[in-house]
Each structure stands twice: as C-alpha cells, then as structure tokens.
Amino acid sequence: MMQATKRNGFLMAAALAVFLLAPGRVLALTVGEVVKDLACPCECPLVLVDCNMSCGLDWKEEVGELIKKGMSKREIMDYFISTYGDAARLTTLQKIEGKVYQYTRGFGTTEWVLLWGGVGFWLLVLFFGLYFGVKKLRSRA
C-alpha cells in the first residue's frame, strides 16, 4: 500500500514536470490579429479590422492567404506597407479613433445624446465647483 502511494506520487510529479517543461503549443495567427494593426486602404479613417467595405474585405482576404502561406505578423505588415505604402500604416490618431469606434459602434441617437449630455453636465459641475471654490478662497483672503 505504501509502495503504491509513493509510485503514484512519483508518477504525478513526473507528469507535472513533463507538462510544465514541454514547449507550449504554438497558437495559430489569425486575420484579426494582423488587421487590427493595419489601416484601411481606402479613404475611410477606420482600422482595417473595423472596415467592411469591399476594399477592406479584399485586404482581409489577402491577409488570410498570406497567413496560409506561413508568413508571420511582422512579415505580413512589412509586405502591406511595402506594397501599399504609408496608406497601410496605422497612425496614432487612427488607433484612437478605432478604439472609440469599437466602443461606440452600436450607439444610436439616444446613446449619443446621453453621452454628450453627461459630458456637458459634468463639465458644468466642474466649472461651477472651481468658480465657487476660488470665489470662497478669495473671500477668506
């Protein structure tokens, strides 16, 4: 009985060591991972991942074909920038606008009115809070 417990413990430790030391499986590159870092080729200011026009869909399909050929993300991005020029390079402003678009793409008129109404309200609260705070400090001095 004691011998079986030691053997089971040793087998569990060996299995854990093999599991922890074995190289992890390589995760496959997806089209979404690549196109989130490329700009749309047309005149729209979207990140390629958000563009659903024909030009954006064509580029996504081309990215998929390059992934099937075994190219890495960096190789695909370099290929697009060398082939299409700076139009494929994602600017900082496009990254910011892309994030805003991702969070607000389902917004309707009501949501936009509530968003900007809330921003306006809090700006007024901030303004009047500072105004009366400074006024109170001046009256003490």
CA 37 – CA 40 distance, rounded (Å): 10
The whole-model pTM stands at 0.52
| Tokens linked to 141 | 């001095």
Cα 122–Cα 124–Cα 130 angle in degrees, nearest 5: 100
What pLDDT digit, counting tens, does each position of 65-75 carry? 999 999 999 99
What is the predicted pLDDT for the residue at 22? 55
Mean pLDDT, the chain, integer: 80
What is the predicted pLDDT for the residue at 101? 66
Please state which CATH number belongs to domain 28-105: 1.10.8.640
